[in-house]
Amino acid sequence: MEASAPAKVILFGEHAVVYGEPAIAVALNLRSRVRIFESNEYRVNGYPLERKYHGYILNAIKLCWRGPPLEIFTESEIPSSSGMGSSASISVAMVAALLSTTGKVKEEEVARLGFEVEYETQGRASPIDTSTVTHGKGVLIDRQKRENFLWRIEKNGIYWNIHHVDVPRLKLVVGFSGIKASTGEMVAKVRRFYQWNSFARDVVREIGRLTLRAIGPLENEDYEEIGELMNRNHKLLTILGVSHPMLRKMVESVKRYSYGAKITGAGGGGSIVVLTDEQDEVIKALQAIGSQGYKVEISDKGFSVENQN
C-alpha cells in the first residue's frame, strides 16, 4: 500500500497554536510518500526500525497497526527540519497507509491519529501541521467554531476547531537556512518560557490576535496588509526566542522584494516564508547569502492513498 501527504507552511500563528491560539496554514506542492509491505521483521528503508531514527513511524504503528511486521519505504521532496512539515507529512502518510489496509480512509480519522503521532513523538504539538497536510488547501485552527468547520481535536484540556479557509493563490517563496532544528526542542524551549514568564504568555496571546486579523486581508487579497502582519508575527516569534542569526539575515535580504517575510514552523533554523511578486529575485537574494529558496504553490490535495499492492 502506498500513501502520500503534502508539505505545509504556516502563514500565521506557529508556537502560539500549541496553547490554543489560532493559526493559519496552507498545504504546498511538495510531498512525502510511504509504501508498506508485510514482512518477517520491521524495517525502514532497509534498516531495522528504531525509535531513535524512526519515532514518527514507530508511533504510527503503535496507534494504527495490529498486523504482522512491515517493510516500510519512505521518500520525501520536503527538506527535513525545514519548517515545511516533513514530520507531519510522513506521519499522516504513514497513518493513511496503515488505515487503508482495512478499508476506506476518513479524512478526520487520519487528522486525529496523525496529530497523536506527532504529539507522542515530540512531547507536545498542535494539530495545525497534521490537519493541514491531511486536508490540503488552507486551514484555520481556532478555539472558536467558525464557518467551514471540519473537525475538533482535544488534548489535555486544550481544544482546537479545525476549519477550511479559502486562501488566494499567493506567490510564496520558502527560504531554507540549511540549519536543521528540532521541532521538539523548539517547542520545549517556548514551553519553558511560557510557563515561567507572563510576558511570554502575553506575546503568545498577541500572536493569536494578529492571526485573526489576517483572515480579512487574506479573503480580500490585500497583499500589503498580509505582508505587514507577517512582519509583525516574525518580530513576536523572535521575542519568543525561536529565531536564529541566519533567519534574521534572510528576512533582511528579501525585504526590498517582498510584502512580508517571517519564520515559518518551529524556528531555531529551518525556514522563512516570503510573500512576493518577485519570486526569482527573492531566490537570488537568498542564494547570495548562502541559503536556498523554493518557489512553492498552494496544493488543493491533502493526503492520498495511491495504490494497493
Q: Compute how many other C-beta atoms are within 10 angstroms of the C-beta atom of residue 168.
A: 15
Residue type, 154: E
Cα separation, 136 vs 253, whole angstroms: 30
| In contact, 144 and 153? CB cutoff 8 Å | no
Cα separation, 240 vs 27, whole angstroms: 25
Q: Compute how many other C-beta atoms are within 10 angstroms of the C-beta atom of residue 159.
A: 12
Cα separation, 302 vs 4, whole angstroms: 8
Cα separation, 97 vs 44, whole angstroms: 14
8-state DSSP, 70: E
Three-state secondary-structure class, residue 9: strand
| In contact, 34 and 72? CB cutoff 8 Å | yes
- Cα end-to-end span (Å), the chain: 5
Q: Exactly one of 129, 142, 166, 277 is catalytic; name it.
A: 129
129 given a catalytic annotation: yes
Residues marked as catalytic: 129
